[in-house]
Amino acid sequence: MRYTILRAALAAVLLVPATGAASGPPEGLQARIDAWLAASPGGKQISPNQIAWEGGRVVLTLPSVGVHGSPSCPAGRSCLYEHANWEGAMLSFDTCGFRDMIDYGFIDMTSSWHNNRSTRSYLYNWTGSWTWLWTEQPSTSSAYVGDAHNDRADGWTIAC
Ligand SMILES: [Ca+2]
């Protein structure tokens, strides 16, 4: 029960910047970093636009100048993007296994992806249990996950 409440609270916190960004001037980068860290304890800021968890195995990159706009995931990592066309915040992993993206403030956010690893990734939605959304083949990308899957992914399994 506590888990469900935390998830709902996190979603509410994370929806605020998205709404503000759409209707007003761009908010400060550091302010967005600060809000992200407050909502996702355990992360550490490692550069002006990046937060790392697990010693760098998981890295969030916020667009500091312009947008990503192309599949930009570093070699050996698998990346999820906040917006279509590989734009907005990017969450990247360089380790295999399952992760609940509530730990990184990235639930219900993914709109495009780039898997730059040699193994598959599997994305899931939390609906009281884990429901499979899509599979990413090695060294592939998608500019948009589609309306049925947009802003749904909460869990991520990267094959070893
Ligand atoms: Ca979801």
Question: With 70 as the cut, is the pLDDT of residue 20 above it?
Answer: no
Rounded distance from Cα 107 to ligand 1 centre (Å)? 6
Rounded distance from Cα 154 to ligand 1 centre (Å)? 5
Rounded distance from Cα 155 to ligand 1 centre (Å)? 8
35-49, 66-80, 90-104, 110-124: the lowest-pLDDT one: 66-80
Mean pLDDT of 133-157: 97
For residue 66, the model assigns a pLDDT of 54
Measure the CA–CA gap between 124 and 157, rounded to whole angstroms. 8
Question: With 90 as the cut, is the pLDDT of residue 3 above it?
Answer: no
Rounded distance from Cα 127 to ligand 1 centre (Å)? 7
Rounded distance from Cα 74 to ligand 1 centre (Å)? 25
Question: With 90 as the cut, is the pLDDT of residue 158 above it?
Answer: yes
Question: With 60 as the cut, is the pLDDT of residue 106 above it?
Answer: yes
> In the structure, what pLDDT confidence band is assigned to residue 28 with cuts at 50, 70 and 90?
confident
Question: With 90 as the cut, is the pLDDT of residue 38 above it?
Answer: yes
- Domain count for the chain: 1
Question: With 90 as the cut, is the pLDDT of residue 153 above it?
Answer: yes
Question: With 50 as the cut, is the pLDDT of residue 19 above it?
Answer: no
For residue 108, the model assigns a pLDDT of 97
pLDDT > 90 fraction of the chain, expressed in percent and rounded: 74
Mean pLDDT of 70-81: 93
Question: With 70 as the cut, is the pLDDT of residue 13 above it?
Answer: no
Q: CATH no. for residue 9?
A: 2.60.20.10
For residue 46, the model assigns a pLDDT of 96
Place of tokens 């193994």: 119
CA dihedral 48, 53, 57, 60 (to 10 degrees): -40
Does residue 154 or residue 18 have the better pLDDT? 154
Per the structure, the complete domain to which residue 105 belongs is given by 2-158
Rounded distance from Cα 153 to ligand 1 centre (Å)? 5
Rounded distance from Cα 135 to ligand 1 centre (Å)? 16
Rounded distance from Cα 151 to ligand 1 centre (Å)? 7
Q: What are phi and psi of 73, to 5 degrees?
A: -65, 130
Task: Tell me which residues have their CB within 5 A of the ion that is ligand 1.
Answer: 108, 125, 152, 154
Q: Which residues contact 53 (CB under 8 A, 6 or more apart)?
A: 40, 42, 43, 44, 59, 103, 104
User: Which has the closest alpha carbon to 80: 114, 33, 117, 120?
Assistant: 114
Q: Around Cβ 89, how many Cβ atoms within 10 Å?
A: 23
Length of the chain measured in residues = 160
Rounded distance from Cα 131 to ligand 1 centre (Å)? 9
Rounded distance from Cα 65 to ligand 1 centre (Å)? 29
Rounded distance from Cα 99 to ligand 1 centre (Å)? 14
What average pLDDT is seen over the chain?
86
Beta bridge partners of 36: none
